[in-house]
Structure 1
Amino acid sequence: MSRLLLRLLAGQLTRSEAQLQWLRSAPRRSIIDLSYSAHLMDFQRSSIPSSMRKLVATKLSQNFREAVSLQTVPVPTPGDGDLLIRNRYVGINASDINYSAGRYDRSVTPPFDVGFEGVGEVVGLGLSASSRFTVGDTVAYMSPGAFAEYTVISAKNAIPVPSARPELLALLVSGATAHIALRQLGELKRGETVLVTAAAGGTGQFAVQFAKMAGCHVVGTCSSQEKVEFLKTLGCDRSINYKMEDLAATLRREYPRGVDVVYESIGGSVFDLAVNSLATRGRLLVIGFISGYQSASGLQPVRGSTIPAKLLQKSASIRGFFLNHFLSDYNNSLRSMLELLTAGWLVCKVDSGERDVGGCFMGLDSVYRAVEYMYAGHNLGKVVVELQNNRKL
């Protein structure tokens, strides 16, 4: 018999005093939302399994298959301010390889979770998080560890969305990168010419649209006629299939005074061409250099020794963009893009692997294939993987 109960029976405490002391002494803990915690059921009355699958980087390598393994682990429990998300779709990014290679944070050592973005339903949450969310809410998020059937995220990082649509994943990293980079670093002016490399890709599709919204003439590079046709639907003024046309010769012939802004994500020889193509007071925005990510160094060689002279001759500039350095702009950017999407003014093209030889990207196993598909340049828009979490574990 507890000491508190003995004091109550002895008349040393009133019932209300005993209840108050018991509440104060009870251990504080996070909860899985009370609406279903007693039954371990989620909002659709299906069991939350005791275990799940996720992708974990077990060694540092630019070879994603070599670096990352598929593991079965317990389903995590959310902390006080956290949400437990059942992922429905996860997004593939070129930077997934850089992350698994340890290039973003040299202090991070394996094993660590991978994947940056997901959308799904809230199936569990901590007590503090329940002030803003409830079981059944649909959220999108940008947070490490998305390549998993269930992910715990801070409620502060959750973005409420109407439904678990794969198109929303296109906005989180790819869309935000184009939106913020062009606004903050591009300094676009109506009538300027903007060159977008890999224009039919995950982030290129948005750079084309935002440059057109700014009243610019847009030139987009791509690798197939199918992509040329897609770029036309986005309003791209000149689409160049570099496998059919000489890109350098085409730019010299059709844009002899150069281009005012380049949105560049390929690197190597394409970066060199971009430098050479700048107009007076042109701005080259380095979004990435995907052509080198699969190499040991992560880079492709460029003609760096000539860059200072070329920039000086044109009063031009090169500006690097890394989304994590612009997070203060992120919420406003995402809000603006969601408004454009809702109004039907923004296209969010996603590629679920329908044209891949292995078929659509379904389940965590297909993340490997989706990464390779993107690096082969086959994607049209943002690459997404659909997760199926209804299996019995």
Structure 2
Amino acid sequence: MSSPLLRRGGRGAAALLGALWGVGRAARRSIIDLSYSTHFMDFQGSSIPSSMRKLVVNKLSPNFREAVSVHTAAVPTPGDADLLVRNRFVGINASDINYSAGRYDPSVKPPFNAGFEGIGEVVGLGLSASSRYTIGDTVAYFGSGAFAEYTVVPAKESVPVPAVKPEFLTLLVSGATAYIALKRLGDLAKGETVLVTAAAGGTGQFAVQFAKQAGCHVIGTCSSDEKAGFLKSIGCDRPINYTTEDLAKTLRKEYPKGIDVVYESVGGSVLEVAVNSLANKGRLIVIGFISGYQTTSGIPSFKGATLPVKLLQKSASIRGFFLPHFLSDYREALGSMMQMFAKRKLVCEVDSGELAQEGRFVGLESIFRAVDYMYAGKNLGKVVVEVAPPAVSNSKL
């Protein structure tokens, strides 16, 4: 992802402040290194070590295990406007392997840090950041380098959360994608029919709920009866288990007038079915095409020669959605979803690997298992990894 959220700047502000404090060696010291640094780095309460582990992309490849490895590095020092976050949970996204394959920003060369989203406690911060945050605050963030025990996050890009719950993590990318895509590109109207593919996954679960809240009839594809049951529990009117039902035939039989809006993340043959199933003036929103991500090109095969005529005949449209292009909508979306969750009007299903063969996803090393688990289609809800258990703190800072 090439948004400002994923490109960290230098330490210009901290360097300027350092210059104002004196000359010689003192002028080159970070603000954190000053005599009152204990107010900004909670070493005792949070047991901040001198080193940490993180996942680093060493070579470009769609094979996550091949591209990424665990590295030991110094715990980073936050700049003037930064927070140092001790990660408790990190989120797994299908696009993690697009990032490791170098597909988002060709100018970024290995080695670079992996991971898009995390949630944890503030254990250190810069002087400017201390005007808004303090040690012990809990925050979530959407930015690069999340697959680490500690991550430096610009204060202005962090999101205060009431508690370190993985449910909040589901909103950062997965929830925001569904909320903004349907709001900005879906043009949902009460009574319309909406199809959500991979509906029981991390972002699909939200698309189902938001479409239902808009008064739509919702269809959701999934791969098991268990997932179909979950979809019914969150309001899906017609779950379709594609392992036991033919998706194209079912849609033709039960929805002869077509589908008004499709929220599509699979690609390939599923995208072809979606295009053929569109109603007049139908809108198809492409938020991904996971079926091709593990290939060399990253793009699944698609028979699109007749696409223009199909769209023309139905006055239909295909619209692409990439979250970093809609950052102006991000704060409102996140705030609205957090309110819904607090009022118990939004289900944020988390899959921490309780049913995985080797058990729950705990520790950085389990991120590799979590990625495999998601790509095997085993997850129900958002895949989340617990980086570290909660710390016992006696700090009075």
CA distance in 2, matches of 1:281, 1:23: 64
CA contact (8 A) 1:33 1:126 kept: no
1:33–1:127 contact (8 Å) kept in structure 2:
no
Distance in structure 1 (CA, Å) of the matches to 2:298 and 2:35: 48
Q: Count the aligned residue pairs.
A: 369
Alignment pair present for 1:58 and 2:58: yes
Q: Is the 8 A contact 1:85 1:153 kept in 2?
A: yes
TM-score, reference length from structure 1: 0.91
The DSSP-based 3-state class of the residue aligned with 2:373 is helix
Aligned to 1:243: 243
**Cα deviation 1:195-217 (Å, max 9, x = unaligned):** 00000000000000000000000
Q: Residue 225 of structure 2 aligns to which amino acid in structure 1?
A: Q
Cα–Cα, structure 1 residues 279 and 39, in superposed 2: closer, same or farther, change >3 Å? closer
Residue 30 of structure 2 corresponds to 29
Q: What is the alpha-carbon distance in structure 2 between the residues aligned to residue 390 and residue 321 of structure 1? A: 36
Quote the offset at 1:57 in angstroms.
0.1
Separation (CA, whole Å) in 1 of partners of 2:329 and 2:98: 24
Matched, 1:363 2:358: no
The residue that corresponds to 1:333 in the other structure is 333
Amino acid at match of 2:275: V
Q: What letter corresponds to residue 289 of structure 1 in structure 2?
A: F
Cα distance in structure 2, aligned partners of 1:141 and 1:41: 20
> C-alpha offsets along residues 61-90 of structure 1, whole Å, 9 cap, x if unaligned?
000000001001110101111100000000
Question: Could you list the per-position Cα deviations for residues 307-358 of structure 1 after superposition, in whole angstroms to 9, with x for gaps in the alignment?
Answer: 0010001000000000000000000010100010000000000000011001
Q: How does 1:264-343 map to 2 (within 5 A)?
A: 264-343=264-343
Partner amino acid, structure 1, of 2:202: G
Identity of aligned residues (%): 68
Distance 1:98 1:298, change over 3 A: same
Alpha-carbon shift at residue 389 of structure 1 (Å): 6.5
Shift of 1:388: 1.8
Residue matched to 1:190: 190
Cα deviation digits, residues 32-64 of structure 1 (max 9, x gap): 798872896447x24210000000000000000
User: C-alpha distance in 1, partners of 2:206/2:168?
Assistant: 13
Q: Where in structure 1 are there 5+ consecutive unaligned residues?
A: 1-21
Separation in 1, partners of 2:222, 2:100 = 27
Separation in structure 2 between the aligned mates of residue 269 and residue 134 of structure 1, nearest angstrom: 50
Letter of the 1:89 counterpart = F
How far has the Cα of 1:303 moved from its partner?
1.0
1:106 and 2:110 equivalent? no
Q: 2: distance between equivalents of 1:231 and 1:135? A: 40
Structure 1 residue aligned with 2:125: 125
Quote the residue 2:137 is aligned against. 137
* 1:13 counterpart residue number: none
Tell me which moved more, 31-40 or 307-316: 31-40
Q: Aligned residue for 1:199?
A: 199
Does the C-alpha gap of structure 1 residues 315 and 72 become closer, same or farther in structure 2, counting only changes over 3 Å? Answer: same
Amino acid at match of 1:156: K
Q: In structure 2, how many angstroms separate the alpha carbons of the residues matched to 1:39 and 1:277?
A: 57
Aligned to 1:174: 174
Query: In 1, Cα distance between the equivalents of 2:224 and 2:35?
Result: 53
Q: Match of 1:228?
A: 228
Counterpart-to-counterpart distance in 2, 1:99 and 1:170: 19
The 3-state SS of whatever aligns with 1:60 is coil
Where in structure 2 are there 5+ consecutive unaligned residues? 1-19, 392-397
SS at 2:119 equivalent: strand
The 3 A distance-change label for structure 1 pair 390 and 215 is closer
- C-alpha distance in 2, partners of 1:189/1:203? 21
Q: Report what 2:215 is aligned to.
A: 215
- Superimposed CA distance per residue, residues 106-135 of structure 1 (whole angstroms, 9 cap, x where no aligned partner): 111000001000000000001111111000
Letter in structure 1 aligned against 2:193: T
RMSD: 1.8
CA distance in 2, matches of 1:67, 1:368: 11
- Using the TM superposition, give the Cα deviation of residue 29 of structure 1 relative to its aligned residue in structure 2, in angstroms: 3.3
State the Cα distance separating 1:30 from its structure 2 match. 2.1
Q: Secondary structure at the match of 1:364?
A: coil
Instruction: Note closer, same or farther for the CA distance 1:366–1:315 as it changes in structure 2 (3 Å cut).
Output: same
Give the Cα–Cα distance (whole angstroms) in 2 for the partners of residues 78 and 47 of structure 1: 16
Q: Is the 8 A contact 1:194 1:218 kept in 2?
A: yes
Give the distance between the partners of 2:222 and 2:178, measured in 1 at CA: 17
Q: Give the structure-2-normalised TM-score.
A: 0.90
Q: Residue 219 of structure 1 aligns to a residue in which SS?
A: strand
Q: Is the 8 A contact 1:42 1:135 kept in 2?
A: no
Letter of the 2:108 counterpart: V
Q: 1:349: which partner in 2?
A: 349
Contact 1:285–1:318, Cα closer than 8 Å, also in 2: yes
State the distance in 2 between where 1:333 and 1:33 align.
Answer: 39
What pairs up with 1:63-74 in 2 under 5 angstroms?
Answer: 63-74=63-74
CA distance in 1, matches of 2:135, 2:106: 37
What is the CA distance between 1:304 and its match in structure 2?
A: 1.1
Residues 1:221 and 1:32: Cα distance change in structure 2 (over 3 Å): farther
CA distance in 2, matches of 1:77, 1:264: 41
| Cα distance in structure 2, aligned partners of 1:243 and 1:131 | 54
Task: Check whether the contact 2:40–2:125 (CA below 8 A) recurs between aligned residues.
Answer: no
